[in-house]
Every structure is written in C-alpha cells, then in structure tokens.
Amino acid sequence: MKLRPQCLALILALAMAAAVKSALLLTHSVPFNSDEAIVGLMARHILRGERPTFFYGQAYMGSLDAWLVAGAFRLLGEGVTPIRVVQAALYLGYLGSLWWLARRLFRDWRIACAAVILGSVPPVVVTTYTTASLGGYGESLLLGNLVLGLGHEVTYGEGETRWGAWAALGLFAGLAFWTLGMAVVYFIPVALLGALRWKARLAPYYLTLALAFVLASSPWWIDTVRSGGAALKVLLETSLAPTTIQERILGFAFLGLPTLIGFRNPWSPDYYPLPMTFLAIVLHLGMLTFILTALRRRRIELSPGAVLLLGVLTAGFLVLFLGSHFGIDSTGRLLLPMYLPVLLGLAAFVVGAYQWRAWAGIGVLCLTLLLNGFATWSAAKSEARITTQFDPITRFDNQHDAQLIRFLEDSGEWSGFGNYWVSFRLAFLSDERLIYLARLPYKADLSYTWGDDRYPPYRDLVVSSSRVAYITTLLPVLDERIRSALEASGIGFEERQIGPYHVFFHLSAPVAPDAIGLVAEPAPP
C-alpha cells in the first residue's frame, strides 16, 4: 500500500524525534534530579498500593505522570530509563496530536507536515521539559492539543452531534486540569468558541462534556474536599514574590521569549553566540511578517474558527502570564503552551516560502532544524548538560551517584539529612535503602523551607535511627557551619568529599539539623 505524502512526513517526524530522544538518553545528556526522582518514587509507591493525588508535598500538579511511569515500571522494570521512555512516548504523542490539530485548522496539509517535522527537533526549552519529567508538562502539551482539536471539532466540525467527541473533550480537559493548572489557557479559546456557537438543542451534549470533565478531574475535587480546599487555594493564589507588570513584561521580552524562539537556554541568562541569535531573530521576524501579511491578504487557507482559536490562545496566555505573579518565572517551562502558535506559524512560513520558491521553503525548514539541533547538541556537550536546574549550586550530574551510594552502604550510613536535590535522588537510585531527609539548605543564603521535606513516611525512619550522616552539595559555607555546630555540640565525626557531595559521617551521636541551629525556620505544626 502506497503511503500518502502527509503520512510519510508524520512517520519521518516521529522517527527524527525518537532519534533525538534516544541520543539524549544514551549519552546521559539530561541529568536525573530530585524532581524526577519524586515522580519515580511515586510510581514505585503506586505499584505498592499508594494512591497519591498530587506531586508529593504539593496540592497541585496531578499524579498522572507518576501513574504512567508506574505502568512503564511494570513493563520495563524500575529505573531512570523507563521514566524517560514515558516522556519520549508523550512527546511522540504530542507530535501526532499536532499533526491532527494542524490538519483540522489549515486547509493546506503541507502545513501539518512542516509543523511535525519542525517539532521533531524543537528548541532546547521544549527538549528539556519533554525529556526530564517534572511531573506533567509532557502530558499537558499533549492534552492541550487534544482539547483544542476536539473543541474545534464539536463547534465547527462533524463532532457537533457526536457523543463520543463531547465525552472525549470533557475527559481530556478534566485530565489536563488535574495534571497542571496551566491547562486553563487551552480552555479559554475552546470556551469562547463554544459560547459563540451556543445552541440550546445541544444541551445534552454540554451536559455530557461537563460530566466527563468532572469524572476525569475527580481526583482534584476529592482532594480539595478532603484537604479543606488546599488545591483550590493553590489554584487561586500564588506564593511567588510580587512583581510589577513592567518587571513581568521585561522578563518575558528578554528572558522568556528568547528561550521560546530558541536563542537562550532556560537555565542560563546568556544568549547564544551572536550569529545564532541573529539568525533566530531574523527567522522569527520573517515568520511574523509573513503571517501578518498572509492573514491580511488571505493567503493562508484556514478552517472556520481557526484564527479565533489560535488568537485567543495566544492573547489569553499573555494576559494570564503577564497579569499574574506567575509572570515572574520567565525561565521557559511556563511558556510551553506558546510553542504551539510559534510552531504553526513557522510551518505556515515554510509552506509560504516554498510556494514562492522551493529552495526558499526548504531553506527555512533546514535553517530552523539546524539552529535547534546545534543548540541542543551544544547544550548536551556543555558542563551543565541539558538541565532543569537554574542555580549553579544545584547543577551537577549523576557521575558520582553510584560512588556515593556505595560509600554510604559500606559505611553503614543508611539514613540522615541532606538537601532536597540529594535526598530524593538518593532514595530512588538506592531503591530506598538510603533515606535522607531534605532538612538542609541548598541556597547560597542558607535559607530553608520545610516544604522540601515532602514525604512524611521517611521522617519516622530517620528520627528513630541511632545513626545519621549529613550530605551537602557545592556549598562550603554550609559545610563550615555544620562542622562548627557539631564541634560545639561535642559530637565527633569524619568527612569525605565524593564529587559534588560532602559527607559528614560516623557521628558519635545522632542529631537533627534544627537541634544544632542549622535550620532557623520553625518546624511546621
């Protein structure tokens, strides 16, 4: 059977994306850290009978990712690789849903083909948060595409009187809402389309949508009731530091946008070398100019409602992002929903350039892939690798993890205290033989939040232990404070440096950090 060109393009894109993810996995280019370890621990605990609703220690970010990883653990065994396999599968699903969505929104099937090929080698920020799991970004991107596509289907397509389409829209929207609150940016354009196309005779379908949404998001509602509204409070409030609208706009313009369009890594304030930055800016300015001109002259054939859907998605995101305290975080992950309109705009630019001159379209396509590919390769080869860590103090790879685990086991130091970026990584990689509470600071100012200690069942194990050790990372000032505090308390100890890890072990008596003044904040009630 002869495959159609659009199917061949999708297969090519999926193969390219799979190759990129495989290369990153095989070369250990994306360090494994505690955020990802918590997902792995949740998955392990799910297989043992636990039923977490949210990311440990939070009343937001649903546990859908952990459930998927638990399935991978069941099939492939426990480890870092199955976690990454799940993220790769989600991204391949994202590309498939992108192709389907673009086919719905654009009359020209070549735009869908260009979009998935461009998406197979995305900017570093997209690669980062769809390779390492932070708890739900891969799912949110996939579910967001499905919500937008089904929203368009039930308002402008044949799905208007199809029960399955309405039920699927509600289910995917509910899962997206439970997984990450940022899903609201996908709901706004769909809700607006629905309001503009409101028909009283569709009331049974609207009810089906609502019931499916509540069913899929029921973990969120149930936990909200049980916790006295904790999840609702998180949804409506933020603990981020207050910022002015001017600060948020500047952050978006000089940090967020450059990350999104591919001339800055999300973990560094520095831009790429001037030639790469210049080409990326010219490329996206050319795309923006083409889109505005083509829309005005109606050179892009879109389905009814497509402009409204994508326009409201973009405008709604900017209003929510810049109008709330979340706009303080322009590092990149909160900007991921905006990758869709940027990617579709580039795809339309590629096709428009191809219609003018074939070499021009191919050139735009290849330039985009080369810029993103070279940036990804450079980041993977850098000292930081492709990391989710912004602070150099917490930016270290896994080169010495096995050595640390062997040392602790050989020394009989099965429990103790570390910082967040040590404790959960160590617990997962040691199959929870080594339990270290996240009770030490990891910031240069030695500030600490009790929220780092995310998993209460570990506390009794450490508190009841007759022997504890301390582990710090890349923070000499904290090492000196621990050393001084132990000496002042008359506690004997030994020290060992293992890569980025500094271990205080063989303590003559077990003592907690707050008991010797290492944590200033009062313990939670």
pLDDT in tens, 172-226: 999 999 999 889 999 999 999 999 989 989 999 999 999 999 999 999 999 988 8
CB atoms within 10 A of CB 61: 23
End-to-end CA distance of the chain: 67
* Distance, CA of 377 to CA of 374 (rounded, Å): 5
| Least-confidence region, from 241-245, 383-387, 439-443 | 241-245
17 falls within a domain: no
Q: Is residue 188 domain-shared with residue 310, that is, in the same domain?
A: yes
* Distance, CA of 321 to CA of 184 (rounded, Å): 11
Q: What is the pLDDT of residues 117-129, one digit of tens each?
A: 999 999 999 999 9
Cα separations in angstroms, 208 against 74, 215, 496, 502:
34, 11, 62, 57
**In this prediction, what percent of the chain has a pLDDT beyond 70?**
97
Domain boundary residue, one of 353, 381, 409: 381
Q: Are 420 and 451 in contact (CB under 8 A)?
A: no
**Residue 217 per-residue DSSP state:** T
Q: Which two tokens stand for residue 522?
A: 């009062």
Residue 1 has a pLDDT of 43
Which residue range(s) make up the domain with 364? 29-381
* Distance, CA of 262 to CA of 118 (rounded, Å): 13
Mark out the alpha helices in 60-198 (DSSP H runs): 64-76, 80-105, 109-119, 124-129, 137-156, 163-179, 184-196
CB atoms within 10 A of CB 511: 17
105 falls within a domain: yes
* Distance, CA of 97 to CA of 103 (rounded, Å): 10
Pairing verdict, β 469-473 and 494-498: unpaired
Q: What is the pLDDT of residues 74-119, one digit of tens each?
A: 999 999 999 999 999 999 999 999 999 999 999 999 999 999 999 9
Q: Which two tokens stand for residue 278?
A: 């210049």
User: Quick one: average pLDDT of 33-61?
Assistant: 95
Instruction: Catalogue the E-assigned strands of 387-483.
Output: 415-418, 435-438, 469-473
**In this prediction, what percent of the chain has a pLDDT beyond 90?**
78
Q: Are 436 and 423 in contact (CB under 8 A)?
A: yes
Q: What is the pLDDT of residues 453-487, one digit of tens each?
A: 999 999 989 988 999 999 999 999 999 999 999 99
Q: To the nearest 10°, the Cα dihedral for 497, 502, 504, 510?
A: -150
Contacts of residue 402, defined as CB under 8 A and 6 or more positions apart, other chains included, come to 429
Residue 358 in this model has a pLDDT that exceeds 60: yes
Q: For the chain, how many structural domains are there in total?
A: 2
Contacts of residue 439, defined as CB under 8 A and 6 or more positions apart, other chains included, come to 417, 418, 448, 452, 453, 512, 513, 514, 519
- List, edge to edge, every strand of the sheet that includes 435-438: 435-438, 415-418, 469-473, 501-505, 494-498
365 falls within a domain: yes
Give the DSSP H or E segment for 497.
strand 494-498
Q: Is residue 362 domain-shared with residue 483, that is, in the same domain?
A: no
Q: Is residue 257 domain-shared with residue 200, that is, in the same domain?
A: yes
Q: Is residue 376 domain-shared with residue 423, that is, in the same domain?
A: no
Q: Is residue 302 domain-shared with residue 407, that is, in the same domain?
A: no
Cα separations in angstroms, 271 against 246, 277, 281, 338:
21, 7, 12, 20
Q: Is residue 299 domain-shared with residue 400, that is, in the same domain?
A: no
Q: Is residue 299 domain-shared with residue 430, that is, in the same domain?
A: no
* Distance, CA of 84 to CA of 40 (rounded, Å): 10
388 falls within a domain: no
- The burial of 232, by beta-carbon neighbours within 10 Å (0-12 exposed, 13-18 middle, 19 or more buried), is given as middle
Q: Is residue 338 domain-shared with residue 468, that is, in the same domain?
A: no
CA nearest neighbour of 427 among 179, 78, 30, 47: 78
Q: Which two tokens stand for residue 437?
A: 């509470």
Domain boundary residue, one of 346, 381, 416: 381
Split at pLDDT 50, 70, 90, the class of 3 is low
4 falls within a domain: no
pTM: 0.94
User: Quick one: average pLDDT of 247-254?
Assistant: 87
- The burial of 66, by beta-carbon neighbours within 10 Å (0-12 exposed, 13-18 middle, 19 or more buried), is given as buried
* Distance, CA of 493 to CA of 486 (rounded, Å): 8
Split at pLDDT 50, 70, 90, the class of 233 is confident
222 falls within a domain: yes
Q: Is residue 307 domain-shared with residue 398, that is, in the same domain?
A: no
Q: Which two tokens stand for residue 246?
A: 């001017």
**Residue 273 per-residue DSSP state:** P
Contacts of residue 113, defined as CB under 8 A and 6 or more positions apart, other chains included, come to 5, 6, 9, 10, 13, 99
Q: Is residue 112 domain-shared with residue 183, that is, in the same domain?
A: yes
Q: Is residue 152 domain-shared with residue 206, that is, in the same domain?
A: yes
523 falls within a domain: no
Q: Which two tokens stand for residue 303?
A: 């389905």
Give the mean pLDDT of the chain. 92
Q: Is residue 404 domain-shared with residue 327, that is, in the same domain?
A: no
Mark out the alpha helices in 252-273 (DSSP H runs): 257-261
* Distance, CA of 329 to CA of 323 (rounded, Å): 12
Domain boundary residue, one of 381, 406, 434: 381
Q: Are 170 and 182 in contact (CB under 8 A)?
A: no
Residue 237 has a pLDDT of 65
CB atoms within 10 A of CB 136: 29
Cα separations in angstroms, 235 against 186, 220, 313, 326, 341:
16, 11, 20, 12, 25
189 falls within a domain: yes
Which backbone phi and psi does 445 adopt, to 5 degrees? -85, 5
